């Protein structure tokens, strides 16, 4: 994982990964600053590495990263973590077609007066692949991670803190750029 050419701003980090392992390491670095109730909104085209980030989140939270798979067909997976760590909920919004699909997994939609995290997700970190498909339903406090292909194994990554994450980005950047 290498920092991008741009200097990070207060709430944005740019970087690059050069292998699947480095993309997993990016997720692991982010996991170091996660708390219960955090939402990680992952975006990028097919095969960009969103699931690799979730593997790193799982590993960083103490879950078995080999159990992490794209939940496209079941929409949501929950991974077991040690009792001193928040749980990990992994949502794939690729196949969601309506707000009813969101409600079926326990998501409180804005239409219902909610901002995403339902009681079912309390005590967990929620990682959402294809989060751009839920833009209007995402909570205002979230970390957005965008991945883009720049070669067969190379990715550019951009992490942006929204809401309360803006004030936490200094800690995120310290974990992503330890030098």
88/79 Cα distance (integer angstroms): 5
pLDDT at 69: 82
Give every residue of the chain whose pLDDT is below 50, as ranges: 5, 8, 109-113
Nearest to 115 by CA among 143, 140, 152, 144: 140
pLDDT at 121: 67
User: What distance lies between CA 80 and its chain's CA centroid?
Assistant: 17
| CATH number assigned to the domain with residue range 2-176, chosen from the 4 options 3.40.50.300, 3.30.460.10, 3.40.50.150, 3.40.50.720 | 3.40.50.300
pLDDT at 28: 94
| Contact (Cβ atoms closer than 8 angstroms) between residue 16 and residue 157 | yes
């Amino acid at each position: 994982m290498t920092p991008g050419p741009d200097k990070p701003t207060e709430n944005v980090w740019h970087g690059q990964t050069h292998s699947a392992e480095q993309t997993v390491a990016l997720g692991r670095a982010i996991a170091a600053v996660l708390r219960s109730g955090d939402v990680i909104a992952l975006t990028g085209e097919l095969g960009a590495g969103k699931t690799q980030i979730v593997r790193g989140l799982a590993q960083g939270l103490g879950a078995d990263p080999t159990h992490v798979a794209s939940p496209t067909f079941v929409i949501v997976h929950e991974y077991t973590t040690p009792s001193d760590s928040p749980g990990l909920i992994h949502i794939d919004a690729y196949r969601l077609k309506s707000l009813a699909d969101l409600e079926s997994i326990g998501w409180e939609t804005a239409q219902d007066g909610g901002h995403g995290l339902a009681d079912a997700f309390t005590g967990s970190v929620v990682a959402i692949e294809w989060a751009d498909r839920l833009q209007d339903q995402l909570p205002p406090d979230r970390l957005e991670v965008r991945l883009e292909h720049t070669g067969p194994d190379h990715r550019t990554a951009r992490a942006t803190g929204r809401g309360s994450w803006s004030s936490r980005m200094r800690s995120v950047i310290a974990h992503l750029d330890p030098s």
